[in-house]
Amino acid sequence: MRNPLNGIRFTHKLLETTPISENQKQFLETSDACERQILTIIEDMDSGSIDEGSTELSMEEFVLGNVLDTVVSQIMILLKERNLQLLHETPKEIKTLSLYGDRIRLQLVLSDFLFNVVHHASSLGGWVELKISPGIKLVRDGNEFVRLQFRMIHPGKGLPFTLIQEMNEGGNSWTTQEGLGLNMSRKLLNKMNGRVQYVQEHNRSYFLIDLEIRTRKGRLKAPQAK
């Protein structure tokens, strides 16, 4: 699997050296982020680090909007196949929010939860909504953090109870590939100082994801004394 993936990455690198428009450049950046996500999955599964709780996060500076674009791109074909509408309006201040963390694993986690929402949403006049709410900023040990909340909403009765059980339980008792994926995503999210729960209401259900993440690589400068 690594060899064809490396071939795709090499082709993209060649394309980046040719004259391309800004839109084409954005497409290549999204594709490159997806490739990095696949490579991260392969490496994590090979090492078994997620299940062992020994995953080493790869920290980098990134813009939240780029992550969201990549996440949404991964469910567009499934949305079309299932005749679902995506409701997704992200305020500019969230799109342009600069963060410091493991971009690829955050992207992996969000795309997995969103994929499951789309997969289990009712296709009869159906829709899926992705909402992101900024929380408060706080400073701890000289580092600035922001609290973000993601809601991935769909109408209907929701995901099967057994699938949610598999997501939340420890051990190795998964009976489905979906359950294994959700369980791994929950563990990765916990590693990144985040939490997820699945909420079922009368006429809709949703993943509620809370994440506390740094806003910059360096520490804040202490105010100078007058």
Exposed/middle/buried for 144, CB within 10 Å: 0-12, 13-18, 19+?
Answer: middle
How many other C-beta atoms lie within 10 A of the C-beta of residue 23? Answer: 8
Strand 143-155 relative to strand 204-214: parallel, antiparallel, unpaired?
A: antiparallel
Please name the residue that has the structure tokens 């391309």. 20
The amino acid at residue 189 is L
DSSP 32-67: HHHHHHHHHHHHHHHHTHHHHT-PPP--EEEEHHHH
The helix (H) or strand (E) run that includes residue 140 is strand 127-140
Predicted confidence (pLDDT) per residue in 62-107, tens digit:
999 999 999 999 899 899 999 999 999 888 899 999 999 999 999 9
Q: Please, what is the Cα angle at 205 between 202 and 206, to 5 degrees?
A: 150
Mean pLDDT computed over every residue of the chain: 83
* Check whether domain 58-214 has CATH 3.40.50.1820, yes or no: no
For the packed helices 161-168 and 177-191, what is the interaxial angle rounded to 10 degrees?
Answer: 40
DSSP 103-131: HHHHHHHHHHHHHHHHHHS--SS-EEEEE
Predicted confidence (pLDDT) per residue in 140-184, tens digit:
888 899 999 999 999 888 899 989 999 998 656 667 888 888 998
d(CA 9, CA 14): 9
Q: Cα–Cα distances in Å, from 42 out to 124, 158, 183?
A: 36, 30, 16
Over residues 120-133, the mean pLDDT reads: 88
Q: How confident is the model at residue 220 (pLDDT cuts 50, 70, 90)?
A: low
C-alpha closest to that of 129 among 156, 106, 148, 162: 156
